[in-house]
C-alpha cells in the first residue's frame, strides 16, 4: 500500500497533461473500476493521503491495491445464465476447480485449491437458478449484471469459510432471490467473511430467512454503490456467530455506499453473538416496522464515526439502534422518526442474565454525532413499555454533538438514563 500512496500525487499531476480521453483503472485484487479521464477530470488526493477522489467517487487507500492506465487482464471462471441453462468456462490453469452441475442453471463448483485465490464472474438471467461454490480458500466474486431467482435454496451460497471478495461491477444491476420455505440461511450467503465493494447496484430478497448473511463479518467498503434489501422473512443483513468478544471476527462494518433496508420481519441489521456494528460512512436508510424489531442490533458495541443514518420506526416496542453493551456516537448524523408505541430511537441495553452472551453494559457515549429525532409514539399497552427517544439502561455521557429530540406525545420521553452526564454539546438547541 505504501507504493500506491506515493504514486497518487504523481497521478493527480499527470491528469493535467492529458490532452485526449484516456482510461484509468482503480484495482483491488481481481476487480477494478474504470474511469475515462481528460483535462477536465477531477482527481483529488486528500491532505492526509488516506483517500483519493475520482470524479464523484472517493476511495480509501485501504480499499484498492493500485491505479493503472492499462486495462487489467484477469483470468476467471466465467458463469453465464440463460434461462434454465448456464455456461461455465474454467481456465485450464485453474487447478482443482471443477463444475459438477453440467449445463444446469443451478451451478455447483468445487474448488480444491488451498493456495490460489481465483476470480469467479457471474452474469445473465435465470428464474430458476443459483450458484454454490464449495471449497476451503478465499476467492473473488464479480457480479457483472445477474438476475437469479432460486427455486431450490439460496441464490448464492459460498461455502469456503474464508474471506470472500464480492465486487458489484460499476454500472451493473444485480438481483438475487431465494426460494421460500427452504433450509438456507440467506438468499446471498457466505460461510466466511464477506467484503462488498464496487459502484454497481445489488438488490436482494430473503424469502426463507435473511437477505444477506455471513457466518462471520460483513464489510461494506467505501467504494460500494447501492444495496437494496427489498424484503426478508427474518433479518435484512445478518452476521455471526463467533467466539470472540472483541469484534475481531464478528461485525458489520459500513465504510460507504447507499443502503436501503425495508420489509424485514426481523431486524434490518443484526450482528449476532458478540457482534459489533461500526458505521464509518455512507448513507443508510431503514424502515423498522416489525414489532420488537431493530434497525441496527448488535450484541456488543455499536460505533458511529461518520455517515448518515435514517430510521423510520413504526413497529411497537421496536428500536432504531440497539446495543446490548455500549453505544459510542463519535460523528455523522442520525435521523429518526419514532412512531411505534413503546419504541426507542436509540437503546443501550443492560443484560444481567447468566445466559446472556454479553452481560452488564447499558452505557451510551455522545462525542460528536448529531441526532435529529421526532418522537410521537405512546405507551405499549401489552406490557406498559414507554416510548423514548434515547434510553440508556446505565450511564449516558455527552461531551459533544447536538441532540435535538422533539416529543409530540405526553406519554413519551426524550431522554432517560440511569445516570446522565451532560458535559458538553447541545440538547434541543441549548448548549451545556
Partners of 319 in the β-ladder = 294, 344
Lowest-confidence pick of 83-92, 247-256, 381-390, 407-416: 247-256
pLDDT at 97 > cutoff 90: yes
Residue 365 pLDDT: 97
Mean pLDDT of 395-403: 97
pLDDT at 32 > cutoff 90: no
The answer on 407 and 324 residing in a single domain is yes
Nearest partner of 129 among 181, 174, 73, 84, judged by Cα: 84
Q: DSSP assignment of 129-142, as one string?
A: -EEEEE-SS-EEEE
pLDDT at 399 > cutoff 50: yes
Residue 357 pLDDT: 58
- Check residues 275 and 264 and name the one with the higher pLDDT: 264
The answer on 89 and 19 residing in a single domain is no
The answer on 314 and 284 residing in a single domain is yes
Residue 134 pLDDT: 97
Q: Predicted confidence band at 131 (pLDDT cuts at 50, 70, 90)? A: very high
Q: State the Cα–Cα distance between residues 345 and 340, nearest whole angstrom.
A: 10
Residue 182 pLDDT: 93
Domain limit, last residue, from 23, 48, 68: 68
For 419-429, how does the pLDDT look when each residue is reduced to its tens digit (9 = 90+)? 999 999 999 97
**With contact defined as beta carbons under 8 Å apart, do 141 and 169 qualify?**
no
Cα atoms in the Cβ-side hemisphere of radius 13 Å centred on 117: 14
Residue 21 pLDDT: 59
pLDDT at 5 > cutoff 60: no
- Check residues 54 and 269 and name the one with the higher pLDDT: 269
**With contact defined as beta carbons under 8 Å apart, do 22 and 69 qualify?**
yes
Mean pLDDT of 305-325: 96
Percent of the chain at pLDDT exceeding 70: 89
- Check residues 88 and 58 and name the one with the higher pLDDT: 88
Q: Predicted confidence band at 356 (pLDDT cuts at 50, 70, 90)? A: low
pLDDT at 394 > cutoff 90: yes
Residue 325 pLDDT: 86
Mean pLDDT of 92-98: 92
The answer on 172 and 37 residing in a single domain is no
Residue 44 pLDDT: 81
The answer on 292 and 341 residing in a single domain is yes
pLDDT at 88 > cutoff 50: yes
The answer on 43 and 121 residing in a single domain is no
The answer on 244 and 268 residing in a single domain is yes
The answer on 283 and 138 residing in a single domain is yes
Domain limit, last residue, from 20, 43, 68: 68
Mean pLDDT of 75-91: 95
Cell numbers 427455486 correspond to what residue?
Answer: 151
The answer on 104 and 50 residing in a single domain is no
Residue 48 pLDDT: 85
pLDDT at 235 > cutoff 80: yes
Q: Predicted confidence band at 177 (pLDDT cuts at 50, 70, 90)? A: very high
The answer on 149 and 23 residing in a single domain is no
Q: Write a three-state SS string for 298-363.
A: ECCEEEECCCEEEEEECCCCCEEEEECCEEEECCCEEEEEECCCCCEEEEECCECCCCCCCCECCE
The total number of structural domains in the chain stands at: 2
The dihedral over CA atoms of 220, 222, 225, 229, expressed in degrees to the nearest 10, equals 20
Give the CA angle between residues 301, 214, 97 to the nearest 5°. 145
The answer on 101 and 42 residing in a single domain is no
pLDDT at 324 > cutoff 50: yes
Partners of 362 in the β-ladder = none
The answer on 344 and 237 residing in a single domain is yes
Domain limit, last residue, from 38, 68, 98: 68
Mean pLDDT of 375-388: 94
Mean pLDDT of 153-177: 95
Q: Predicted confidence band at 300 (pLDDT cuts at 50, 70, 90)? A: confident
Burial 310-321 (b: 16+ CB within 10 A, else e): bbbbbbbbbbbb
For the chain, give the mean pLDDT: 89
pLDDT at 339 > cutoff 70: yes
DSSP β-ladder status, 77-82 and 85-89: antiparallel
Bond into 241 cis (ω within 30): yes
pLDDT at 274 > cutoff 70: yes
Nearest partner of 293 among 236, 226, 374, 365, judged by Cα: 236
**With contact defined as beta carbons under 8 Å apart, do 185 and 153 qualify?**
no
**158: domain range?**
77-431
The three grid cell numbers given for residue 128, joined into one nine-digit string = 430458476
Residue 3 pLDDT: 41
Mean pLDDT of 38-65: 78
Q: What share of the chain is helix, strand, coil (3-state, %, to 5)?
A: 5, 55, 45
Amino acid at each position: 500500500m505504501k507504493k500506491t500512496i506515493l504514486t497518487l500525487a504523481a497521478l493527480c499531476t499527470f491528469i493535467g497533461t492529458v490532452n485526449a480521453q484516456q482510461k484509468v483503472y482503480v484495482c483491488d485484487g481481481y476487480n477494478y473500476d474504470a474511469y475515462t479521464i481528460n483535462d477536465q477530470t477531477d482527481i483529488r488526493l486528500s491532505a492526509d493521503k488516506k483517500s483519493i477522489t475520482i470524479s464523484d467517487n472517493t476511495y480509501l487507500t485501504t480499499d484498492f491495491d493500485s491505479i493503472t492506465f492499462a486495462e487489467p487482464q484477469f483470468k476467471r471462471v466465467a458463469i453465464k445464465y440463460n434461462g434454465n441453462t448456464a455456461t461455465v468456462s474454467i481456465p485450464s490453469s485453474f487447478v482443482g476447480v471443477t463444475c459438477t452441475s453440467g449445463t444446469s442453471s443451478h451451478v455447483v463448483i468445487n474448488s480444491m485449491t488451498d493456495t490460489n485465490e481465483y476470480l469467479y464472474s457471474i452474469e445473465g438471467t435465470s428464474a430458476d437458478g443459483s450458484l454454490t461454490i464449495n471449497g476451503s480458500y478465499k476467492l473473488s466474486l464479480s457480479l457483472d449484471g445477474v438476475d437469479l431467482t432460486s427455486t431450490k435454496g439460496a441464490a448464492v451460497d459460498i461455502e469456503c469459510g474464508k474471506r470472500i471478495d464480492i465486487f458489484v461491477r460499476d454500472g451493473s444491476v444485480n438481483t438475487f432471490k431465494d426460494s421460500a420455505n427452504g433450509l438456507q440461511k440467506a438468499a446471498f450467503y457466505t460461510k466466511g467473511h464477506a467484503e462488498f465493494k464496487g459502484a454497481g447496484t445489488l438488490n436482494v430478497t430473503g424469502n426463507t430467512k435473511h437477505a444477506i448473511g455471513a457466518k462471520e463479518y460483513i464489510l461494506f467498503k467505501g467504494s460500494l454503490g447501492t444495496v437494496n434489501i427489498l424484503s426478508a422473512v427474518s433479518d435484512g443483513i445478518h452476521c455471526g456467530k463467533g467466539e470472540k468478544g472483541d469484534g475481531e471476527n464478528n461485525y458489520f462494518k459500513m465504510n460507504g455506499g447507499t443502503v436501503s433496508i425495508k420489509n424485514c420481519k426481523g431486524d434490518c441489521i443484526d450482528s449476532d453473538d458478540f457482534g459489533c456494528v461500526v458505521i464509518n460512512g455512507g448513507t443508510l436508510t431503514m424502515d423498522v416496522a416489525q414489532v420488537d424489531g431493530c434497525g441496527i442490533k448488535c450484541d456488543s458495541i455499536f460505533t458511529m464515526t461518520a455517515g448518515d443514518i435514517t430510521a423510520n420506526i413504526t413497529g411497537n416496542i421496536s428500536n432504531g439502534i440497539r446495543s446490548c453493551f455500549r453505544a459510542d456516537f463519535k460523528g455523522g448524523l442520525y435521523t429518526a422518526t419514532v412512531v411505534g408505541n413503546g419504541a426507542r430511537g436509540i437503546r443501550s441495553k443492560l443484560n444481567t442474565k447468566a445466559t446472556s452472551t454479553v452481560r452488564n453494559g447499558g452505557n451510551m457515549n455522545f462525542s460528536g454525532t448529531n441526532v435529529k429525532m421526532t418522537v410521537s409514539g405512546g405507551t405499549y399497552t401489552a406490557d406498559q413499555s414507554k416510548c423514548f427517544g434515547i434510553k440508556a439502561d446505565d450511564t449516558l455521557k455527552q461531551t459533544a454533538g447536538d441532540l435535538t429530540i422533539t416529543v409530540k406525545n405526553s406519554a413519551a420521553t426524550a431522554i432517560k438514563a440511569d445516570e446522565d452526564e451532560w458535559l458538553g454539546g447541545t440538547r434541543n438547541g441549548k448548549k451545556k
